[in-house]
Amino acid sequence: MVNPLTYVFRRKVTEKFDFSDAELEALGSELKAEVNQVFGSSLAIRELDSGSDNSTEIEISNLGTPYYDVERFGISFVASPRHADVLLVTGAVTLNMAEAVIKTYEAMPSPKFVIAVGNDACDGGIYKGSYAVLGGVDKILPVDIKIPGNPPTPKEILRGIFALVKKASK
């Protein structure tokens, strides 16, 4: 029989990862404390691209990579809007996506929040004035927080999420 204690004392399976970012860790632990209090320990985010240049999505998905690994802070990206607390929208809303954006928002249970990520989601950005876009996300949805940038860095996005959690607690 295997002694269960060997599992406790054996070497960790996780690889050594020689990376540490004090600023990120501090932000993360503050965020985690807030998420625990405001959202019952887990904040579910649904990402929605409504017509960005894809760099913003790349930075958002980078939040899940080993350098950031935001699941540690109680944040998870969920597959369905029905599981989401927050809708993270990127891109100037295109005419072709407008209906899908509204349907996605409507599918979310209340209370729900919207964050616009990137210059184009904030006010249409470079696509402003094109026949094919409506402009910023606030043209069709109530936006709680705007995170500008072309694209914002993963840390800036995390700060924006933190700002939302703070706002939601009020």
Residue pair 34/166 in contact (Cβ under 8 Å)? The answer is: yes
**Residue 44 has which token pair?**
């579910």
Q: Does 92 bind other proteins (CB under 8 A)?
A: yes
Q: How far is the CB of 36 from other proteins (least distance, A)?
A: 24
Q: How far is the CB of 56 from other proteins (least distance, A)?
A: 7
Picking from 94, 149, 139, the residue whose alpha carbon sits closest to that of residue 117 is 149
Q: Which of 36, 42, 76, 130 binds other proteins (CB under 8 A)?
A: 130
Ordered DSSP codes for 109-156: PSS-EEEEESHHHHH-GGGTT-TTEEESGGGTS--SEEE-SSSPPHHH
Q: Which of 24, 28, 47, 70 binds other proteins (CB under 8 A)?
A: 47
Q: Does 54 bind other proteins (CB under 8 A)?
A: yes
Strand residues in the chain grouped as ranges (E): 43-49, 75-77, 86-90, 93-94, 113-117, 133-135, 145-147
Q: Does 138 bind other proteins (CB under 8 A)?
A: no
Q: Does 29 bind other proteins (CB under 8 A)?
A: no
Picking from 95, 109, 2, the residue whose alpha carbon sits closest to that of residue 46 is 109
Judged by CB under 8 A, which stretch of 1-9, 34-42, 53-61, 161-169 contacts other proteins? 53-61
Q: Does 67 bind other proteins (CB under 8 A)?
A: yes
Binding residues for other proteins, per CB under 8 A? 17, 47-62, 64-67, 77, 79-81, 91-92, 94-100, 103-104, 125-127, 129-133, 150-151, 153
